[in-house]
Amino acid sequence: MEYFIELFFSGLTRGSIYALIALGYTMVYGIIQLINFAHGEIYMIGAFTALIVTGVLTYYGWPHLAIILIAAVLAIFYSAAYGWTMERIAYKPLRDAPRLSALISAIGASLFLQNYVLLAQTSDFLPFPSLISDFAFLDPVSNLFGTTDFLIYTTTGVVMALLTFLIKFTRVGKAMRATAQDRHMAMLVGIDVNRIISITFIIGSATAAIGGVLIASHVGQINFFIGFIAGIKAFVAAVLGGIGSLPGAVLGSLVLGWTEAFFTGYVSSDYEDVCAFVILVIILIFRPSGLLGRSGVQKV
């Protein structure tokens, strides 16, 4: 039973990280129906920015708390900037092109960003310093989950709540929903669609960066390739939950996180990644609209 609970929390940690990435995936897909293949790379860039800022500030001997805050803020800022730039270059000119063109362009962007980081920072796993000291009040449960796990759960919860609020109750959120429903109609009623899409990319990228910082401090090492597999899994999670739906992305992520945790815990750790892909194939074949998605009717 103890093992089960341990796996439960490790699954929750995984799922929460997937959720932070999946939210961006699902928002972008919801608004322009593009599988933003390079989304995982944005998350990776967030982690790298955090690492670099931490390294520099540690070198100059800044206090830990300041380092953490500055690193997180800069990571979020830079990821958002990369997301925005990428959208401008690789996706915006293809707004009216066939969907596959945009997808191929996204694959190109992903390939570019990966190799850009590879060339600039080598392919080695770089150690990520642990700056966050353990919270004393978590001591009684420390055998179940650690401080970073706790931070991951709470951050994911807060981000999720903020995004839901943003989309449900703000002007921008309303404009996003309108754009997602019918881009041309939204344009006709005076919504600056390009701006709304840019904002979506910025928010999605920032969310991914939060995930990047958290996972980097949780796992303790990063390299240029972490974005790819995380991106794919987050995509699986988004599809599992019903792509385009925010609660769906979180639910899908948690389900995927737990499935992986229990699978590796009880069955075999060799096929951990196969697990995600098998789920993807099965869900797309039997319920392409996902757990919480609505099945759309094709317009003719």
Q: Measured between alpha carbons, how far is 27 from 264 in angstroms, rounded to an integer?
A: 30
State which residue, 7 or 38, has the beta carbon closest to another protein. Answer: 38
Backbone angles phi, psi at 182, to 5 degrees: -160, 105
* SS3 label, residue 222: strand
116 is a site residue for another protein (CB under 8 A): yes
CB of 188 to another protein, least distance (A): 18
Q: Which helix (H) or strand (E) segment is 210 a member of?
A: helix 193-219
How many residues bind to another protein according to rule CB under 8 A? 69
Q: Which of 5, 66, 97, 188 binds another protein (CB under 8 A)?
A: 97
Distance CA 43, CA 60 (A): 26
Is residue 110 involved in binding another protein (CB under 8 A)? yes
> 133 to each of 18, 52, 129, 149, how far by Cα in Å?
24, 20, 11, 13
Please tell me whether residue 164 binds another protein under the rule CB under 8 A: no
Q: Specify the residue, 157 or 288, whose C-beta has the smaller distance to another protein.
A: 288
Name the phi and psi angles at 287, rounded to 5.
-150, 75
Site for another protein in 229-258 (CB under 8 A): 232, 235-236, 239
Among 17, 35, 167, 196, binds another protein (CB under 8 A): 35
| Residue 105 contacts another protein per CB under 8 A | yes
Residue at token pair 């390299």: 223
Closer residue to another protein, CB minimum distance, 145 or 235: 235
Q: Which of 112, 125, 153, 258 binds another protein (CB under 8 A)?
A: 112
The least distance separating another protein from the CB of residue 59, rounded to whole angstroms, comes to: 5
Residues 6+ apart with CB under 8 A from 195: none
Q: Is 85 in the site for another protein (CB under 8 A)?
A: yes
Judged by CB under 8 A, the stretch of 16-24, 77-85, 140-148, 251-259 that binds another protein is 77-85
Question: If binding is defined by CB under 8 A, does position 126 make contact with another protein?
Answer: yes
Is residue 52 a contact residue for another protein (CB under 8 A)?
Answer: yes
Cβ at position 253, least distance to another protein in Å: 16
Residues making up the chain, counted from first to last: 300
126: which DSSP letter? E
Q: How far apart are CA 6 and CA 12, in angstroms?
A: 10
**What would the DSSP string read from start to end of 51-110?**
HHHHHHHHHTT--HHHHHHHHHHHHHHHHHHHHHHHIIIIIGGGTTS-HHHHHHHHHHHH
Under the binding rule (CB under 8 A), the answer on residue 93 touching another protein is yes
| Site for another protein, rule CB under 8 A | 33-35, 45, 48-49, 51-56, 58-59, 74, 78, 81-82, 85, 89-90, 93-94, 97-105, 107-121, 126-129, 232, 235-236, 239, 270-271, 273-274, 277-278, 280-281, 284-285, 288, 297-298, 300
